[in-house]
């Protein structure tokens, strides 16, 4: 079996968004860079992102749209390499893009264009990418000397690499089918770094078993809503976008967003009629109006509050044995109060999330207290770096996670 010994200046583990941006940034300073990737394809997450069109950044990227135990940590990298910087790179490569909604920028053609752009930059700058390659061990021989033993999975040759700096960019745990692994966390533990428990985020939620049939009966129905999670009386987080009923519970952008803030068994409230601020009064006033009072309540709901799909009212009435099929005049104001409150503040309990197989990202990760926000290096080990999703920084849905990968990668590359 052949043994190849490689001496380089920077080794990066993981050829995803953050790893390749680190490579480009470091190589553009003249550093000799080698990237090691375990999967047989490069940048798989970029390829499948944004429904194949890669939502590569967000015009509104700012620290407030990220979740971390230290929300200030993010600011420096986002300031150093901004969304405009990445947009300039995209434009230099003549990639056509558009804003879909809420500042979210997508490729017009395909996410492959972003991959091609990153690989072209790497190749022009002489970055060497070795894949598929399994890292067997990482050792720090001296402060500025790392030794990586690995096996090339194609020809089974053994590699021994030496570098001054090591950058961990091996990503989080979501979608193991395309290469996600816990490798970065294991290396962090080897170097005695604290880890904030990794959890699935931007992920569909599962209803309680007892309520599953209701959600299943509405599978495919989408409603514009406001989802709110009240952590404490004073602290709450809300997102207004669509929710989507699934066979197991709820998904859709508003649910994915709120999922990053909640845990198993937490409850959220959903305003299914966000435009109707006086629903109770409106329903009560209908009882006095002969045009409405003789109509069946369910028909009034379907006709006047059609923002909620008709199917919802039918399933709601049936599953919860809620009598909606009588004439409006027969209902007490108390009943209408309860009904309006239910529609304005639907309670959904998350039995558990659908987990890493369905999650767009992993929240938690390397504790930011261990890292310098200016360089992404470990504070007490300045030649070891962690970037991208591995770090305890999680963006909202909408291009924020890639922007974090670009910003943190760029900063590490300028320093490693």
Ligand X SMILES: Cc1cc2nc3c(=O)[nH]c(=O)nc-3n(C[C@H](O)[C@H](O)[C@H](O)COP(=O)(O)OP(=O)(O)OC[C@H]3O[C@@H](n4cnc5c(N)ncnc54)[C@H](O)[C@@H]3O)c2cc1C
Taking CB positions, which residue lies at the least distance from ligand X?
16
Nearer to ligand X, 55 or 315 (CB): 55
Nearer to ligand X, 46 or 336 (CB): 46
Q: Residue 236 pairs with which residues in a beta bridge?
A: 230
In this structure, what token pair is assigned to residue 247? Answer: 């066979």
Least distance (Å) between residue 179 CB and ligand X = 3
Least distance (Å) between residue 266 CB and ligand X = 23
Instruction: Of 149, 174, 217, 185, give the one whose Cα is nearest residue 16.
Output: 174
Residue numbers at the binding site for ligand X (CB under 6 A): 13-19, 36-39, 45, 48-50, 54-55, 135, 169-171, 174-175, 179-181, 183, 360-361, 388-389, 399-402, 405
How many Å apart are CA 312 and CA 319, to the nearest integer? 10
Strands (E), 175-301: 195-201, 205-206, 222-230, 236-245, 249-251, 267-271
Could you tell me how many residues make up the chain? 416
Least distance (Å) between residue 187 CB and ligand X = 9
Nearer to ligand X, 327 or 358 (CB): 358
Among the residues of 68-165, which ranges form H helices? 73-80, 83-92, 112-124
Q: Is the peptide bond before 106 cis (omega within 30 degrees of 0)?
A: no
Nearer to ligand X, 130 or 218 (CB): 130
Least distance (Å) between residue 361 CB and ligand X = 5
Long-range CB pairs of 376-382 (<8 Å, 24+ gap) are 376/77, 376/408, 376/411, 376/412, 376/415, 377/412, 377/415, 377/416, 378/191, 378/193, 381/140, 381/143, 381/191, 382/143
Least distance (Å) between residue 114 CB and ligand X = 10
Nearer to ligand X, 257 or 315 (CB): 257
Nearer to ligand X, 191 or 335 (CB): 191
Least distance (Å) between residue 332 CB and ligand X = 48
Least distance (Å) between residue 366 CB and ligand X = 11
Nearer to ligand X, 135 or 161 (CB): 135
How many Å apart are CA 33 and CA 241, to the nearest integer? 42
How many Å apart are CA 139 and CA 389, to the nearest integer? 23
> Do 257 and 239 meet the contact criterion of CB atoms below 8 Å apart?
yes
Least distance (Å) between residue 321 CB and ligand X = 39
Nearer to ligand X, 312 or 402 (CB): 402
């Amino acid at each position: 079996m052949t043994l190849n010994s490689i001496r380089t200046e920077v080794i990066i583990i993981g050829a995803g968004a953050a790893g390749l941006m680190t490579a480009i940034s470091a190589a553009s300073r003249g550093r000799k860079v080698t990237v090691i990737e375990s999967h047989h394809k490069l940048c798989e997450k970029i390829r499948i992102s944004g429904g194949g069109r890669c939502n590569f950044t967000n015009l509104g990227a700012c620290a407030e749209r990220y979740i971390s135990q230290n929300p200030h940590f993010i600011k420096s990298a986002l300031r150093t390499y901004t969304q405009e910087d990445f947009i300039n790179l995209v434009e230099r490569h003549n990639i056509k893009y558009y804003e879909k909604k809420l500042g979210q920028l997508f490729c017009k053609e395909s996410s492959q264009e972003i991959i091609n752009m990153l690989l072209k930059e790497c190749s022009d700058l002489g970055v060497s990418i070795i894949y598929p390659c399994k890292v067997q061990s990482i050792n720090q021989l001296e402060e500025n000397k790392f030794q990586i033993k690995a096996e090339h999975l194609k020809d089974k040759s053994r590699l021994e690499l030496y570098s001054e700096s090591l950058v961990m960019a091996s990503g989080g745990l979501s979608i193991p089918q395309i290469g996600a692994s816990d490798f970065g966390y294991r290396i962090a533990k080897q170097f005695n770094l604290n880890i904030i428990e990794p959890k699935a985020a931007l992920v569909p939620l599962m209803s309680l078993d007892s309520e599953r049939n209701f959600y299943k009966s509405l599978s495919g129905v989408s409603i514009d809503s406001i989802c709110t999670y009240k952590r404490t009386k004073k602290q709450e987080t809300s997102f207004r976008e669509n929710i989507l009923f699934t066979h197991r519970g709820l998904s859709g952008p508003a649910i994915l967003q709120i999922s990053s803030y909640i845990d198993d068994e937490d409850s959220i409230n959903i305003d299914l009629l966000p435009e109707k601020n006086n629903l109770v009064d409106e329903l009560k006033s209908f009882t006095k109006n002969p045009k409405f009072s003789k109509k069946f309540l369910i028909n009034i709901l379907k006709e006047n509050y059609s923002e909620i799909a008709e199917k919802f009212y039918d399933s709601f009435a049936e599953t919860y044995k809620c009598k909606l099929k009588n004439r409006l005049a027969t209902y007490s104001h108390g009943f209408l109060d309860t009904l309006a409150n239910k529609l304005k503040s639907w309670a959904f309990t998350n039995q558990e999330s659908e987990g890493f197989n369905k999650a767009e990202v992993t929240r938690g990760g390397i504790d930011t207290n261990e890292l310098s926000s200016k360089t992404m290096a470990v504070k007490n080990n300045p030649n070891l770096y962690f970037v991208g999703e591995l770090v305890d920084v999680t963006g909202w849905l909408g291009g924020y996670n890639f922007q974090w990968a670009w910003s943190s990668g760029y900063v590490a590359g300028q320093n490693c």
